[in-house]
Each structure stands twice: as C-alpha cells, then as structure tokens.
Amino acid sequence: MCSEKSDTMTCFLLIILVTVASTFGENSIISSSHSDMSESEGRCEEITIPMCRGIGYNQTRMPNELNHDNQEEAGLEVHQFWPLVEIKCSPDLRFFLCSMYAPICLKDYLKPLPPCQNLCKRARDGCEPLMQQYGFKWPERMECEQFPIYGASQEVLCMDQNKNEATHKPSSSFKTSTTRPKHNKVCKNSKNCADPPGEKIKPPPRGRDCNCTCQNPLVLLENTPHFNKSISVVGVENCAFPCKETFFKPDEKEFATVWITLWSSLCAASTLMTLTTFLIETERFKYPERPIVFLSACYFLVSMGYLVRVGLGHKEVACDDQIIRYSSTGTNACTLVFLLVYYFGMASSIWWVVLSFTWFLAAGLKWGNEAIANYSHYFHLSAWMIPTIQTVSVLLSGAVDGDPISGICYVGNMNMDNLRVFVLAPLLCYLVLGTTFLFAGFVSLFRIRNVIKKQGDGGSKADKLEKLMIRIGIFSVLYTVPATIVIACYLYECAFHDEWLKHLACPCMNSILSGGRPKEGPLYSVVMLKYFMALAVGITSGVWIWSGKTVDSWKRLWRRLVGHPDRTGAAAVLIKTRPGKPPPQYLVAGPGSASLLAPTGSVASASQHHLHHHVLKQPPLSHV
C-alpha cells in the first residue's frame, strides 16, 4: 500500500475515496474512456520504475491503461519525461506521470485509478509554456479534459495530491545511477508512444536551471587518488570519463581495435619499404624529392606508436585505474605513445611543407638540386625543432590525455581547448603553407610546359615534364585529402564534444521524446575515418617509389643477400682506361642530353638517363 516515507495525507485521501465508492456499491466510477479491468486482467506489484519510487505509494497495477504489459515498458516511456521533471517546470508533473504510467493498485479495488483533471491541469500549466516556447503542444493523450474532476461526483474516483504537497519541490534524493532516463527505445505500437508523431520536445534553453551530476557511466572521484585534482566533466567537479568509450557498442569497440591495428600495420610496412629502398640506393633520392623519405620515416614511427598501444593494451596505455588519463606525466607507456604519435606526426606535416617548398624552388625559381641541398640543414632544423617545441609545450602544460576509443595517448581528447591550440592550429597552418607552395610550383610547371611545346622540338621533354607533374599531383592529392579530412574530423569533435558529455551528465539537456534529441555521441563512421586518414599518408608514401628502378634496386639487394655477383647495376662497373684515351662513347652523354629541367632536380638529367641506359645494356666488364 503506502510506503513509510509517503505523505500520510495522500494515502488517507485515497482510502477515504475508496471507502465512499464501496459504500455506494458502484462498479463503474470512472469515465467511459477507461475500460473495466477484472481481477484476472491486472496484478498488484511493487513499483520498480525509478522515477515513481517514493511517489506516495509503493504498489502499482499492470497492465496499465496505456497498454504497457510490464513496468519495464512503462518505465522506458515515462523516463523520457524525466528532463521536464528535473527542471521542475511543475511540482505536480512527476506525480501526474506516475499516476498514468504506474497507477496505484489497491487490493480491495479492482478498477483503474486515473489522474484527476485538476492534477493534469496543474502539471500542464507549469510545463506547457516551456513546450510552446519551441512550438510544440501538450501531448494529445494527456489532454486534461479526458480525466475525471475530483469532487465533482461521489461516484468518481481519481488520483491527486493535496495542495500542500503540490506546492513542495520534488525530492532530489534519488541516486543518479537509478534515475537516469533511457533513450532510443522504439514503441511497440502507436498507442504506446508518448505523443503523436510531430509532437517532439526539444531541450530546454541553456539559460534555464539544469543540474548536471556525475552519474553512470561517468566515474565519481570521491575516495580516490584523483579527488580534488581539477578533473571535471562539463563543469561537474571530481567527475571523470571512464576508461573506455561509452557511446559505442561492444562489437564496435572491438572492430575499432582491429581497424586501427590493420591500418597501422599497413602504414608501417609501406613506410619501411620506402626507407629500405632509400638505404639501398641513397643517391637516387635527391632534392627536391628527398623530404618524402623523411616524411615516410615519420609515419613509420607514428604507426609504431599505434602498434605499441596494440601490444601493451588499451588500459595499460590510456587509462588510470577506472578512468581515462587526464594528464600523463613522467616516463610511462602513455608518454611514449604520445611522443611517437604527436611528435613525429607534427614532424611529418613540416616535412610536407619542406617538400612543397623544395618543389617550388625547383620548378618556380629554377633552383638545381645541389643548390637546394645546400640548405638541407635548415630544413632539418625546422622539421625537428618546431615539433620539439610543440611537444615540450604540451608536456609542460600537462595536456597529454588518453583516447577512450583508440587507446593511445595524445592531446585534446578530453580538453577541446588543448585540441585547438596544440593540434588544430598547427595542422591548419602547415596544410595551408604547404598547399600554397605546391600551387605556386604547379603554376610554374605549367608555364615551362607551354614554353617547351611552343618551341616545337621538345616533345619528349614535354612528355617527361607531364609525367613529373602527374606524379607530383597524385602525391599531393594523396596527402592533402587525408590531411584535410583529419582536420575536419577534429573540427567535428570540437563542435560537439561538450554536447556529447552533457548527454551523459545532464539529463535535462536531452529532449523528452525520441527523435528530438541532441547528438548523443560521435558518429562511428567519422571516428573510424579519422584514424584511417591519420595513417593513409604513410600507406601511400610508397607511390613515389613505385617504378622499375625500385624493382631493380630490390633485385640487386636480393642478389647480394644470396651471394650472387651484381652485374646489372652501374655501381658495380668500374671502367679502366689508358691515360689520354677517352672513355667509350656509350659512356659519354651527348650534347643533346642536357637536362630538360636540370635546375629543378625533379627530373634526372638526360645525361644521367643516357649514362644509366647504356651502362645497363653494356656487356659484362671485368672488375678491377
């Protein structure tokens, strides 16, 4: 019947009404809109709906008048109204909702007890203005005119609170872990839906009072070493995000690990092949193309950072007990992964700028590869020192935190200000700067191509130049597109991250009914796309070395490993001539073999091609 903590006046009022009804011996005391229910059709049971526990009675009858078969169904629907209850738009709303979804059950009375009309009107008068502010109406199934009027007739029995209780604010003693509303539950049929399609309620305005609490799945930091260490979630102090992502399903989390492992492994393999090719034939990679080698080296180490996380595990790297790491300091796995991913990730972006700049010097300003190589120490100084300054700044500011999805440590996973300052701003600057140099170089190459075609005798030169432009263009697209997408994903995070956390900590920020909710979490496809694009440049870095020369280089390496003499490479041929005797004609570059773009260094000089071509085809010579 009535719980000990309930208001005795409410219980007394209900008992008196039942006694009056029994005296008159009436079997039908409610309006015709409510059907009769025999004893076999209903059952009294303890109230288990969190929002309705402690409401003033502890027994309800199921099925209810809204055709919910059990309290689980009723609870899923009534808890969609919890935000309105939480913001206290009406002190009668909670009792009114419970009287509909979990009506009182009296053992000696077998009829359903609807809410009284006055109770409905008080709830509606308090909350309807808020709904109308957004252009929505009070739900039709809750129209107050359908409910009986209390006191209008001795034959009418309904549920209401006394006026004193109605003026009191609802109790706030409920535990957040048991009162958190559930969402995304689809109604079984139209009559079980909270209101007709189109009548959906948006969140309350931000200016209204909204109490955010550290509720499940967030972790309360009381009685933990992290207490009072400036850790908060959307303003809720001593509250932390859990170790692993809560917005995705378990199978989605498992796939994310497989996804990251796959692409980081491919990135490591592709960049390792590029680096090995460079070590086999170092002289082949001259400026302005040589920065591609250092860019590949950076992505190799970035992929190692992801693979270290795969080897050590999510919790070992990104978590601190049951919560995500908020500020990693000292020498640990988290700091190691951060250094590999962040430092070399930023260094790769600067090497991209250097690559674009050297292409511009070669194509636009007609610099030769030797002239560009003379400034290589400045390129290295910039590419390694700038990321060092960035990394030290992040470490000193304590901005390293864990990523609850990938399990790595980075910067800006939990703090969007850090993400904007240490990640977004540098990446945008590097991308814009590199793209500017690249565009200027392309304009110069087009001009050179037009000049060669106008001369009329440079068909082969124009073809070689076009091939160079195509290769540069392909590699440029393979870098700029992934880099742009990664930046877009970070912008998406910055825009909605706080809203995702408010969905967990602030129930009143959510909408009341399905379909009108704010974004409850990141899009899974966007998150997976971000991790793929972050490694895609390393995977495609091998495009520049995909040629017959690379195959020849690997063949020579294989012959050396198995012990066969290398008789095909120019490096294996030593020419011995008599004093005063010129070398063979097939080793001399003709006058027509001048470099078509010698200053650029982007296309090997024709004399070099001429020499290489003849050496490869000459008969085997004895080694000196």
Alpha helices in 456-523 (DSSP H): 459-505
Looking at residue 513, what is its pLDDT? 36
232 has which bridge partners? 237
pLDDT in tens, 546-589: 777 778 878 887 887 887 665 544 444 444 444 444 554 433 43
Taking the CA atoms of 319, 322, 324 and 330 in sequence, report the sign of the dihedral they define: negative
Nearest to 529 by CA among 567, 493, 502: 493
Q: Is the pLDDT of residue 153 over 90?
A: no
Which amino acid does the sequence have at 425? A
Check: CB of residue 79 under 8 Å from CB of residue 93.
Answer: no
200 CB-side CA count, 13 A: 11
466 has which bridge partners? none
Nearest to 253 by CA among 262, 245, 261: 245
Question: For 116-124, what is the mean pLDDT?
Answer: 90
- Cα separation values, 553 from 191, 218, 619, Å: 74, 56, 20
Cis peptide before 591 (omega within 30 of 0): no
Give the separation between CA 509 and CA 525, rounded to whole angstroms: 25
Question: For 588-597, what is the mean pLDDT?
Answer: 38
Q: Which residue did the predictor score with more confidence, 323 or 112?
A: 323
Q: Is the pLDDT of residue 125 over 80?
A: yes
Looking at residue 343, what is its pLDDT? 98
Check: CB of residue 156 under 8 Å from CB of residue 114.
Answer: no
**Six token digits for residue 541:** 């870095």
Question: For 313-341, what is the mean pLDDT?
Answer: 90
Looking at residue 414, what is its pLDDT? 92
The region of weakest confidence among 50-54, 333-337, 521-525, 595-599 is 595-599
Give the separation between CA 601 and CA 594, rounded to whole angstroms: 13
Q: How many CB atoms lie within 10 A of CB 167?
A: 10
Question: For 473-483, what is the mean pLDDT?
Answer: 84
Structure confidence at residue 110 as a pLDDT band (50, 70, 90)? confident
Check: CB of residue 265 under 8 Å from CB of residue 307.
Answer: yes
Looking at residue 161, what is its pLDDT? 76
Cis peptide before 129 (omega within 30 of 0): no
109 has which bridge partners? 106
320 has which bridge partners? 323
Q: How many CB atoms lie within 10 A of CB 23?
A: 9
Q: Is the pLDDT of residue 371 over 60?
A: yes
Give the separation between CA 518 and CA 501, rounded to whole angstroms: 11
Looking at residue 488, what is its pLDDT? 97
Q: Which residue did the predictor score with more confidence, 473 or 158?
A: 158
Burial of 283 (0-12, 13-18, 19+ CB in 10 A): exposed
Check: CB of residue 11 under 8 Å from CB of residue 1.
Answer: yes
Give the separation between CA 116 and CA 164, rounded to whole angstroms: 16
Q: Is the pLDDT of residue 369 over 70?
A: yes
Looking at residue 393, what is its pLDDT? 96
Check: CB of residue 178 under 8 Å from CB of residue 50.
Answer: yes
Give the separation between CA 242 and CA 322, rounded to whole angstroms: 6
Q: Is the pLDDT of residue 527 over 50?
A: yes
Burial of 79 (0-12, 13-18, 19+ CB in 10 A): buried
Q: Is the pLDDT of residue 440 over 50?
A: yes
Which DSSP category does 572 fall into? G
The residue whose two tokens read 């207490």 is 227
| 394 phi/psi in degrees, rounded to 5 | -65, -45
The residue whose two tokens read 């308090």 is 126
SS3 105: coil
CA angle, 336 then 313 then 214, to 5°: 95
Segments of the chain assigned to CATH 1.20.1070.10: 250-548
Give the separation between CA 161 and CA 473, rounded to whole angstroms: 75
Give the separation between CA 473 and CA 334, rounded to whole angstroms: 37
Give the separation between CA 622 and CA 582, rounded to whole angstroms: 18
User: Strand ranges (DSSP E) for 368-424?
Assistant: 400-402, 409-411
Looking at residue 195, what is its pLDDT? 40
* CATH class as words, domain 250-548: mainly alpha
Looking at residue 456, what is its pLDDT? 65
Q: Is the pLDDT of residue 386 over 80?
A: yes
Segments of the chain assigned to CATH 1.10.2000.10: 8-185
Check: CB of residue 544 under 8 Å from CB of residue 292.
Answer: yes
Structure confidence at residue 307 as a pLDDT band (50, 70, 90)? very high
Q: Directed axis angle between helix 524-540 and helix 291-312, to 10°?
A: 130
Question: For 595-606, what is the mean pLDDT?
Answer: 37
Structure confidence at residue 521 as a pLDDT band (50, 70, 90)? confident
pLDDT in tens, 211-254: 678 888 888 888 888 888 889 898 888 999 999 888 888 899 99
CA angle, 422 then 424 then 428, to 5°: 120
Q: Is the pLDDT of residue 87 over 70?
A: yes
Nearest to 61 by CA among 39, 78, 42: 42
pLDDT in tens, 34-83: 334 334 456 788 898 888 888 888 888 888 888 888 888 888 888 877 87
Q: Is the pLDDT of residue 260 over 60?
A: yes
Structure confidence at residue 259 as a pLDDT band (50, 70, 90)? very high
Give the separation between CA 490 and CA 188, rounded to whole angstroms: 38
The region of weakest confidence among 359-373, 497-511, 585-599 is 585-599
Query: Which string of b and e fits 398-437 if b means at least 16 CB within 10 Å?
Result: ebbbbbbbbbbbbbbbbbbebbebbbbebbbebbebbbeb
112 CB-side CA count, 13 A: 26
Which DSSP category does 423 fall into? I
Polymer length in residues for the chain:
624
Q: Is the pLDDT of residue 537 over 60?
A: yes
Question: For 196-214, what is the mean pLDDT?
Answer: 50
Question: For 347-354, what is the mean pLDDT?
Answer: 95
CATH number assigned to the domain covering 8-185:
1.10.2000.10
Q: Which residues contact residue 536 at a Cβ distance below 8 angstroms, ignoring those fewer than 6 apart?
A: 263, 478, 482
| 236 phi/psi in degrees, rounded to 5 | -85, 110
